Amino acid sequence: MGFSKDFIWGAASAAYQIEGAYKEDGKGLNIWDVYSRVPGHVHYTETGDVACDHYHRYKEDIKLFKELGLKYYRFSISWARVLPEGVGRVNEKGLEFYSNLVDELLAAGIEPLITLYHWDLPYELYRKGGWMNDESPLWFEEYTKVVIDALSDRVKYWMTINEPQCIIGCGYWGGHHAPFLQLPNKDLVLMSHNILLAHGRAVRCIRKYAKEKPIVGFTPTGPVYVPENDSKEAIDEAREKSMSMKNSLFFSSTWWSDPVFFGKYPEEAYEIFGEDMINPSKEDMEIISEPLDFYGVNIYYSEKIRYPHTYATNEYIGIPKTAMDWVVSEDVMYWAAKFWYERYKKPVFITENGMADNDWVNRNGKVCDPNREDYIARYVKRLMDAADEGVPVMGYMYWSVMDNYEWAYGYDKRFGLIYVNYITQERTIKESGYWYKKLIESNGEILN
Ligand code: GBH
């Protein structure tokens, strides 16, 4: 059986991680521009000021994407490039960049998928309280409308918000992403609700104004537990843990996805947050649960062995890990596809999956990265197993199309199919990239 003929094969990126040109052509600043500069926040205090200089090199980059055989390419839009103050004045030059990017992709036979928000909140909105401000869903709606008016004649696939788990969990709870804060649950609950409202308002706006019939989703993440064995008890336990908020609170899947797909917060949230929990209006929950076309999800590792050292046994010693220290645990693809389809009943779209390695250009001029090929093969094969068992799997996006700014890790981690030399900005397609092309061409069949 395998994947359907129209399976969405591609690779992904995000604006702040690749574009650079952080204050060019009228772009406003965002929270990463401002707060990555504070010593202690990011590895070697690196910033995305230049990153992959994709803003200037997008044409050259798209040629490489074509060489990779990508059919689709997922990228995000920098809100502050389009609206320097976040609302109000539109920066035509910024919009023009994305319009040219879309044209260039289409000319290369690559279909664009757009993420509206991949963590780079405009600084001027942050000054007004950012997601704490109850106007923030309206700001996001205004921004969405500007983008939709400009690009929806050529773009069909829309994703509102990338990993809301990480916006709150990493940015305002753990404090290791911009704006590097650690706030109390009371604030985090309010901000979560505004982010969800922003998502819902954006979905409505896209459906109302898109010129081409849009296909709309968002791209959460969240811990997925893999059963210890094949027994029904083990599967039930893994499902229950994956659906629970207890261990992961703002990182959990259900905190974000239940409101979106069921129109209500998980019951657990009321127990866990107590008086910090809100009592949302029916109208709010209707906005949040505007119907979506797919369940997008970013998947990197399974929870079962996420903290291997906490295991009673020594089974963790020497297990395969990526350069992020994330355990290679491909079964998560199968179980995530199963569990999310079972719960939310939408086609599952893997909007990110990939690995960082310590790649370099070898003496022969190639970037030989057999581990990445093996990683992709393992994960995609398990995704195919789920498809074979009847789970509608819509697509797979490798993260990332090219090495880039890995947030708090700066340029230290390389996830790309394309190697980037950050000093010369020279690009080299990695061996895994050439192999990925074959995987796409065969629609995954080379794995059988
Ligand atoms: C993605 O998220 C990002 O979208 C991307 O920008 C980034 O470069 C890439 O991955 C590689 O890091 O939900 O409890 O399982 C970052 C990866 C994975 C970090 C899930 C937060 C949450 C832990 N995220 N993780 S949990």
In this predicted structure, the answer to whether residue 307 has a pLDDT above a threshold of 80 is no
Asked if residue 1 has pLDDT above 90, the reply is no
> In this structure, are residues 222 and 165 in contact, taking their beta carbons and an 8 Å threshold?
yes
Active-site residue (options: 163, 290, 406, 431): 163
**Which residues, 6+ apart, have CB-to-CB distance to 285 below 8 Å?**
259, 263, 264
Alpha helices by DSSP H, listed for 127-184, are: 136-151, 164-168
Judge whether residue 311 has pLDDT over 70.
Answer: no
Count Cβ neighbours within 10 Å for each residue of 431-448 and write b for 16 or more, e otherwise: bbbebbbebbeeebeeee
In a domain, 343, yes or no: yes
Q: What is the position in ligand 1's atom list of the atom closest to the CA of 404?
A: 8
In a domain, 3, yes or no: no
Report the C-alpha gap between 199 and 195 in whole angstroms: 6
CB 200 within 8 A of CB 289: yes
Using CB distances shorter than 6 Å, the residues near ligand 1 are 14, 162-163, 165-166, 221-223, 248, 251, 298, 300, 352, 399, 406, 415
Q: Which of 117, 145, 148 is nearest to 130 (CA)?
A: 117
Pocket test for ligand 1, best of 78, 176, 221, 307 (most atoms within 8 A of CB): 221
- What value does the mean pLDDT take over residues 156-164? 98
pLDDT interval class at 309 (50, 70, 90): low
What one-letter code names the amino acid at 365? G
Say how far apart CA 324 and CA 191 lie, in whole Å: 28
148 inside domain: yes
Q: What is the overall mean pLDDT for the chain?
A: 96
Cα(174) to ligand 1 centroid in Å equals: 13
2 found inside a domain: no
Residue type, 408: A
Ligand 1 mean position, distance from CA 253 (Å) = 13
Tell me, yes or no, whether 166 lies in a domain.
Answer: yes
Q: Best of 298, 322, 329, 415 to mutate for ligand 1, by most ligand atoms within 8 A of CB?
A: 298
% of the chain surpassing 90 pLDDT:
95
3-state DSSP assignment of residue 349: strand
Ligand 1: distance of its center to the CA of 178 in Å?
14
Dmax over CA atoms of the chain, in Å, equals: 63
**Ligand 1 atom closest to residue 415's alpha carbon, by position in its atom list:** 11
**C-alpha dist (Å) from residue 170 to 3, 115, 147, 253:** 34, 19, 27, 15
Q: How far is the CA of 57 from the centre of ligand 1 (A)?
A: 26
Q: What is the rounded CA–CA span in Å between residue 301 and residue 296?
A: 16
255 near 278, Cβ under 8 Å?
A: no
Atom number in ligand 1 closest to CA 399 = 9
Backbone angles phi, psi at 427, to 5 degrees: -110, 145
Range of the domain at 105: 8-447
| pTM, 2 dp | 0.97
Q: How far, in Å, is the centroid of ligand 1 from the Cα of 364? A: 33
Sheet holding 8-12, edge to edge: 215-219, 157-162, 111-117, 72-76, 8-12, 393-399, 348-353, 295-298
The tokens describing 13, both together, are 């990126």
- Residue 174 is assigned to a structural domain of this protein: yes
What per-residue confidence (pLDDT) applies to 9? 98
Q: Return phi, psi of residue 441, to 5°.
A: -55, -35
Report yes or no on 429 lying in a domain.
yes
94-107 pLDDT, tens digit each: 999 999 999 999 99
Q: d(Cα 12, Cα 10) in Å, to the nearest integer?
A: 7
CB atoms closer than 10 angstroms to residue 251? 21
Asked if 350 and 393 count as a contact pair (C-beta separation under 8 A), the reply is: yes
Q: What is the pLDDT of residue 228?
A: 84
| 3-state secondary structure at position 11 | strand
How many whole angstroms separate alpha carbon 295 and alpha carbon 91?
32
Structure-token pair, residue 386: 């789920």
Per-residue pLDDT band for 312 (boundaries 50, 70, 90) equals low
Q: Which two tokens stand for residue 427?
A: 């690009």
Q: Indicate whether 308 pLDDT > 60.
A: no
Residue of 42, 300, 326, 350 to test ligand 1 pocket, by largest number of atoms within 8 Å of CB: 300
Tokens of 249: 């609170």
Please give the structure tokens belonging to residue 88.
């109000």
Q: What integer pLDDT is reported at residue 313 of this predicted model?
A: 65
Cα distance between residue 102 and residue 364, in whole Å: 35
Among the atoms of ligand 1, which is closest to the Cα of residue 253?
13
Encode pLDDT of 3-24 as tens digits.
Answer: 999 999 999 999 999 999 999 9
Ligand 1 centre and the CA of 166: distance in Å? 7
Please name the residue whose Cα sits nearest to atom 13 of ligand 1: 222
Of 357, 367, 351, which Cα lies nearest the Cα of 415?
357
Place of tokens 């055989």: 69
Nearest-atom index, ligand 1, CA of 14: 6
Host H or E run for residue 377:
helix 370-388
Which protein residue's CA is at the shortest distance from atom 8 of ligand 1? 406
Ligand 1 centroid to 12 CA: how many Å?
Answer: 13
Q: Give the model confidence (pLDDT) of 39-74 as tens digits.
A: 999 999 999 999 999 999 999 999 999 999 999 999
Name the residue with the closest Cα to ligand 1, atom 19.
166
- The tally of domains found in the chain comes to 1
Q: Is residue 1 part of a domain?
A: no
- Mean pLDDT in residue range 350-362: 98
* Catalytic annotation present for 290: no
pLDDT confidence of residue 318: 83
What spatial distance separates the first Cα and last Cα of the chain, rounded to whole Å? 11
Per-residue model confidence (pLDDT) at position 143? 99
Residue 224: C-alpha distances to residues 60, 141, 242, 367 (Å): 38, 31, 5, 32
pLDDT level of residue 317 (50, 70, 90 thresholds): confident
Query: pLDDT tens digits, residue range 246-285?
Result: 989 999 999 999 999 999 999 999 999 999 999 999 999 9
CATH value at residue 212: 3.20.20.80
The one catalytic residue in 303, 352, 406, 431 is 352
The residue contributing the CA closest to ligand 1 atom 16 is: 166
| Assigned token pair, 343 | 């719960």
Residues 158, 101: contact at Cβ < 8 Å?
no
Candidate from 257, 399, 412 with most ligand 1 atoms within 8 A of CB, to mutate: 399
- The string of DSSP letters for 180-213 reads -----HHHHHHHHHHHHHHHHHHHHHHHHH-SSP
Q: What is the pLDDT of residue 316?
A: 73
- Our answer to whether residue 163 is catalytic in this structure is yes
Give the span between the Cα atoms of 282 and 134, in whole angstroms: 17
322-350 pLDDT per residue, tens: 999 998 999 999 999 999 999 999 999 99
Nearest atom (ligand 1) to Cα of 300: 18
